[in-house]
Structure 1
């Protein structure tokens, strides 16, 4: 089942989703008021305790009735996640000298949120690396990918299966793999292998939505444990 930007891609056609890129948000917007505002916006757009049908209905309402654009919603969520990470894991608290973070992005909307989050973390002086094993064909998501590439954010060609390599290279993992629209029983490679690897990491994990591998319908938390 597709929701949000993925559904809009299919409904309107890929070419119709090419809209003006949102300008980079300035550092002064990361103060307490800005953080609270954007974190609240993210909470309204992420549906960890709602069913897939409820999540789809809310997002459809935002798109159709409130006239938010798909890019606008994803940009808000990605920025809010980046701000939340700077509050929970400030640069001064990181265990490694280099402020490295690994963003693991899935093929649907959560993956796009992860791309935006990584871009803003780069602005906030973190050093993100992105693992994006199956890139979306949606033009909107391709735009987010190009923006990251233009900011010289590196993309991994593979995820090390030796967990200690991840622990040694990064301060934390950003989980932007699976969203609440995902049927957990239908998840296949490479994502089953990715989840198996990330379940074993010792560094912190921050999820941009419901942690990947959790089942929103059956209230099971068998996936990642941020």
Structure 2
């Protein structure tokens, strides 16, 4: 029987999400590389579930400057191995060695990087929104207001990573301006859903199969029943798993 998860007691706010990541690295033995790899793998599997290659291989991966963008870079690499044709939009690039290595991995697979989001969007079958995650606190800075506006208006399906970019983690979409009407088709919550999920109306997945019972207990989270070797599980916005 599928586990029933009640979102109000199983969401995690930005402060606790940051603390949980620190616990996983300080006492859990994980490195940031490992967590990012598992998160990006989860995103890539969610893409495959909702939009298999036969439905269109051109995937535009929009990456922000932080860890959410790193998850997007990892996802793009896996998508290339799955047979997709990812293109990466990465206007504000992270400068650490980790991000440089992720970019090198993509370039070695001949994954193109674009500086023209609007033009690349025209030929895309799916967009992965990996711009901002749980640490976003606004306001939007260039070039992202224009990008978010295009995500609002496009007919191309959009999959957001951890939170729809521009949304406040606690209070959901902004009241006005770019993002106020942004509703992605798919959301992949990493580790646990964030409070903003209550405003989301599309298909919802949980990903990040690395929680230990001790860490989950500390933050009052339930570890979902992932099917087989899957790194994601689809969960209704009200918490019911779909196996």
TM above 0.5, one fold? yes
The 3 A distance-change label for structure 1 pair 154 and 77 is same
Instruction: Name the counterpart of 1:42.
Output: none
Instruction: Name the counterpart of 1:128.
Output: 86
Q: Residues 177-218 of structure 1, C-alpha deviation per residue, up to 9 Å, x if partnerless? A: 01110112x321111111111111101101121111111122
CA distance in 1 between counterparts of 2:166 and 2:140 reads 9
Contact 2:173 2:182 in 1 (8 A): no
RMSD value, Cα: 1.7
The 3 A distance-change label for structure 1 pair 223 and 133 is farther
Matching residue within 156, 163, 166 for 1:203: 156
Structure in which a larger fraction of residues adopt helix: 1
TM (norm. structure 1) is 0.71
Matching residue within 15, 29, 49 for 1:67: 29
Asked whether 1:174 is paired with 2:136, we answer no
Q: Residues 88-132 of structure 1, C-alpha deviation per residue, up to 9 Å, x if partnerless? A: 11122x1x4xx1110000000000000000000000000000000
Matching residue within 100, 118, 122 for 2:58: 100
TM (norm. structure 2) is 0.66
Instruction: Name the counterpart of 2:110.
Output: 152
* 1:199 match: secondary structure: helix
Matching residue within 56, 74, 88 for 1:116: 74
Question: Structure 1 regions of 5+ residues with no counterpart?
Answer: 1-47
Structure in which a larger fraction of residues adopt strand: 2
Instruction: Say how many residue pairs are matched.
Output: 170
